[in-house]
């Protein structure tokens, strides 16, 4: 496993397990499989509604001494409805209780946006684009100073929003988590983060087939490109005797970017982990870099699925 050094002095396994859209029975099985084969970085969020099952599995492993807490890296996130200074700590405590832990390793602001109301359904959500990030960040710093989260960071923030925090913080963000994959490589933002000692972690590093299901459930039709079918990726898979997924993950890892692919299949879980025995040649990295489509390559759009 490769480790990434965070600004706060902690290290993060470069490859982790994403858990969005994982149902309880499937997730419990996937977590046990993942921990068994060596995953130590787990990513969740309060709005995923799966922290409790993760806490259950972790408690079983920790209480039976099958794993040491110091070997785990657990990330969770403050939901948009809690993007107000008076709500931050209470919502953090909810996550800590759900996860059955005394601390988390990384706590992120899930989105720069807030949600003003407590709606009865998603159609009634009132988004708040003008939340005070600095007030909220001060509350995040308090959580860090109490030792309740070993590092703090942001997710889905842009360069200007991060600069605003950097100019006014006591403790800078250690991490930026964002959509990043072959067709949206976020090159400018990644370089900015590197210059400022902020580790970048990619969600949707393999694309996101689950998004198609999500959008369909919300009465939206959207085509999600299959990154595995890209001709350059397929050719490199043959060349290196690896799968397309392994080529895509290695492309991120070689650039010092973390990745949190989601899977519940034992073979794919193992495959995603088996990427540390090869590196891409420079000429192949150049080819993959050239497939970036910028914002046009984005697979996601903001949805108010965190209002609960």
Instruction: Tell me the whole-structure pTM to 2 decimals.
Output: 0.94
Residue 222 has pLDDT above 60, yes or no: yes
Q: Which tokens is 153 given?
A: 């960071």
Helix or strand run (H / E) with residue 89 = helix 88-99
Q: What is the DSSP letter of 119?
A: -
pLDDT in tens, 77-125: 999 999 999 999 999 999 999 999 999 999 999 999 998 877 666 677 8
Q: How confident is the model at residue 305 (pLDDT cuts 50, 70, 90)?
A: very low
- Which residue reads 């990043």 in tokens? 180
pLDDT of residue 124: 77
Q: How confident is the model at residue 214 (pLDDT cuts 50, 70, 90)?
A: low
DSSP 272-289: HH--SS----HHHHHHHH
CATH homologous superfamily of 3-297 equals: NADP-dependent oxidoreductase domain (3.20.20.100)
pLDDT of residue 255: 96
Nearest Cα residue to 110 out of 140, 153, 142: 153
Cα–Cα distances (Å) from 12 to 138, 237, 259, 292, in that order, read 23, 27, 11, 26
Nearest Cα residue to 50 out of 72, 75, 83, 33: 75
Nearest Cα residue to 113 out of 128, 134, 99: 128
Which positions ≥6 away from 162 have C-beta within 8 Å? 154, 173, 176, 192, 193, 196, 198
pLDDT of residue 306: 42
On whether the CB atoms of residues 148 and 141 are closer than 8 A, the answer is: no
Q: How confident is the model at residue 126 (pLDDT cuts 50, 70, 90)?
A: confident
Q: How many residues does the chain have?
A: 308
Q: Which tokens is 102 given?
A: 């005394």
On whether the CB atoms of residues 40 and 13 are closer than 8 A, the answer is: yes
* Chain CA centroid to CA 74, Å: 11
Q: Which tokens is 180 given?
A: 């990043």
Q: How confident is the model at residue 224 (pLDDT cuts 50, 70, 90)?
A: confident
From 19-28, 30-39, 46-55, 163-172, the region with the lowest mean pLDDT: 19-28
pLDDT in tens, 269-288: 999 999 999 999 999 999 99
Task: Give the pairing of strands 17-18 and 114-115.
Answer: unpaired
Mean pLDDT value across residues 10-31: 92
Spatial distance between the Cα atoms of 61 and 153, rounded to a whole number of angstroms:
27
pLDDT of residue 23: 73
Q: Please give the positions annotated as active site.
A: 48
Instruction: Enumerate the domain spans of the chain.
Output: 3-297
């Amino acid at each position: 496993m490769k480790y990434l050094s965070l600004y706060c002095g902690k290290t993060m396994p470069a490859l982790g397990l994403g858990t969005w859209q994982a149902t309880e029975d499937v997730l419990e099985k996937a977590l046990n499989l993942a921990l068994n084969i060596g995953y130590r970085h787990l990513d969740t969020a309060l709005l995923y509604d799966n922290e409790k099952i993760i806490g259950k599995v972790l408690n079983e492993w920790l209480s039976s001494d099958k794993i040491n807490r110091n070997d785990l890296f657990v990330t969770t996130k403050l939901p948009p409805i809690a993007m107000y200074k008076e709500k931050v700590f209470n919502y953090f405590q909810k996550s800590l209780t759900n996860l059955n832990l005394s601390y988390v390793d990384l706590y992120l602001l899930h989105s720069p946006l807030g949600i003003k109301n407590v709606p009865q359904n998603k159609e009634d959500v009132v988004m708040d684009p003008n939340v005070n990030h600095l007030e909220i960040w001060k509350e995040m710093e308090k959580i860090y100073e109490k030792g309740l989260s070993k590092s703090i960071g942001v997710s889905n923030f842009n360069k200007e929003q991060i600069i605003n925090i950097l100019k006014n913080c006591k403790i800078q963000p250690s991490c930026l988590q964002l959509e990043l994959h072959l067709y949206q490589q976020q090159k400018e933002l990644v370089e900015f983060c590197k210059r400022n000692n902020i580790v970048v972690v990619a969600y949707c590093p393999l694309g996101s087939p689950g998004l198609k299901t999500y959008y369909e459930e919300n009465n939206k039709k959207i085509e999600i490109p299959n990154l595995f079918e890209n001709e350059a990726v397929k050719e490199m898979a043959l060349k290196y005797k690896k799968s397309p997924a392994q080529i895509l993950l290695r492309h991120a890892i070689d650039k010092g970017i973390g990745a949190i692919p989601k899977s519940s299949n034992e073979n794919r879980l193992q495959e995603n982990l088996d990427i540390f025995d090869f590196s891409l040649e420079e000429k192949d990295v150049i080819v993959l870099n050239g497939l970036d489509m910028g914002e046009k390559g984005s697979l996601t759009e903001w949805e108010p699925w965190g209002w609960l």
